[in-house]
Structure 1
Amino acid sequence: MKTTYLDPAVGQYLLAHTTLPDEILDALAVETRETTGDRAGMQISPDQGSLLTMIAQLCGARNAVEVGTFTGYSSICLARGLAPGGGLTCFDVSEEWTAIARRYWEKAQVAELIDLRIGPAAERLRELPVHPAVDLAFIDADKVNYPVYYELLMERLAPGGLILVDNTLQRGRVADPSVDDETVRHIRAFNDLVSADERVTSIMLPIADGLTMIRKH
């Protein structure tokens, strides 16, 4: 359970009343823990996965983008929610971790929907055409570059399009003035940037490590 700022019993209750992941996602979560060790915490939680699929379905996403793919859990969830004829473009720097993602995309039968682009996302995103516009984007990558990814995606986002951003609560540390580490400073600055952006409406959701939903006007 990633939501460390919730009472553990409440967190477990929430998970117990959320649609469970299937065997493919469960197997991917296990392999990620076994293969990546301490890095496994980079994987989204099951409740986030269910939410990503539902949001993609609700907004009828056809052109989706993911920045930070890791071993592929979130990309499977996004791809499963795409409208017929839709596609997902994924950006990541690791051939090793995304090799796991590729295998599980095949198992989940979503591989044909996904275009993986390896390299620094700030560079590769600039190669993404402005048209067709992006309907839905998910950012879950290096925190220092969140503002860069956000602006590049805003340039390509359709009116009414959504950007979802992970890890925006930092285990609740963003609200603790005594915490002043580098990552928390970057996330606070990003959260302030979004809340002051008159181009969007946003809401921070206390799901997992914080998920911010941003809608372009």
Structure 2
Amino acid sequence: MADHAIRLNDGLDAYIRTVGMRESEHLRALREKSKATLVNAQLAIMPEEACFLDLLVRLSGAKRIVEIGVYAGYSTLALAQALPEDGYIVALERDERFPPVGQPFWKEAGVDHKVDLRYCDANEGIEVVLQENGPESFDFAFIDADKASYMNYYEKCLELVKPGGLICVDNVLWYGRVIDDADTTHQTEAIRRINEHIVADDRVDMSMLTIGDGLTVVRKR
């Protein structure tokens, strides 16, 4: 039995993206557009993570998703493509500069009608979603926004999703900084806190994966 995961290199990354995942034409076009036009295009999730989220949505049968953090809308498009025709996403984003990059691709993919994009502070926005819909009204949540607020996002999403619903928390390895004892920046400390909180949370089942920058998948009991 292996005692550690294989260490990926550029060759293995390329191999995985060739035979280990499927990226739609619209997702690929949006990723390339983001790389060409946005300085921080790396803030978007990786294509293999998008593929995994797509699979989780389909496996879970999710119809109602809340997404905290949209950026240019790559993850939004991946989630929307996985939803059935009557599904929808409430997508919360505070910066109005970035979603317009992705919106034409949502439209071209024929999924823009599934996305309720709301520009707001996500801490306030998630409260509004709870007030509008009530507890246990969503099937799936994806958290990928400001790290200092991860604890609040997680707790609110735990209220919002149904028993058996999924919460996916991105950037839980934080580029390896979580194991750097010298790094005491507020973002790194916030990631450490949420990781320790989730693993000790007996309200959920969970697993942390090394995909992308680390993704924790949580199932509400």
Q: Do both proteins adopt the same fold according to a TM-score greater than 0.5, normalized to the shorter chain?
A: yes
Q: Which amino acid in structure 2 is aligned with residue 149 of structure 1?
A: Y
Give me the whole-angstrom Cα distance separating, in 1, the residues matched to 2:162 and 2:136. 9
1:40 aligns with 2:49: no
| Structure 2 residue aligned with 1:200 | 204
Q: Which amino acid in structure 2 is aligned with residue 181 of structure 1?
A: T
1:55 aligns with 2:68: no
1:213 aligns with 2:217: yes
Q: CA deviation at 1:80?
A: 1.1
Q: Contact 1:63–1:132 at 8 Å: present in 2 too?
A: no
Q: Which amino acid in structure 2 is aligned with residue 46 of structure 1?
A: P
1:166 aligns with 2:167: no
Q: CA deviation at 1:51?
A: 0.7
Q: Percent identity?
A: 35
Matched residue SS, 1:193 = helix
| Structure 2 residue aligned with 1:94 | 95
Give me the whole-angstrom Cα distance separating, in 1, the residues matched to 2:186 and 2:172. 14
Give unmatched runs, 5+ long, in structure 2.
1-6
| Structure 2 residue aligned with 1:19 | 21
Task: Give the TM-score normalised by the residue count of structure 1.
Answer: 0.92
Give unmatched runs, 5+ long, in structure 1.
none
Moved more, 96-105 or 126-135: 126-135
1:188 aligns with 2:189: no
Superposed CA offset, 1:77-113 (max 9, x none)? 1011113411111000122211122211101110011
Say what the alpha-carbon RMSD is for the aligned residues.
1.6
1:71 aligns with 2:72: yes
Relative contact order higher in (CA < 8 Å, ≥ 6 apart): 1
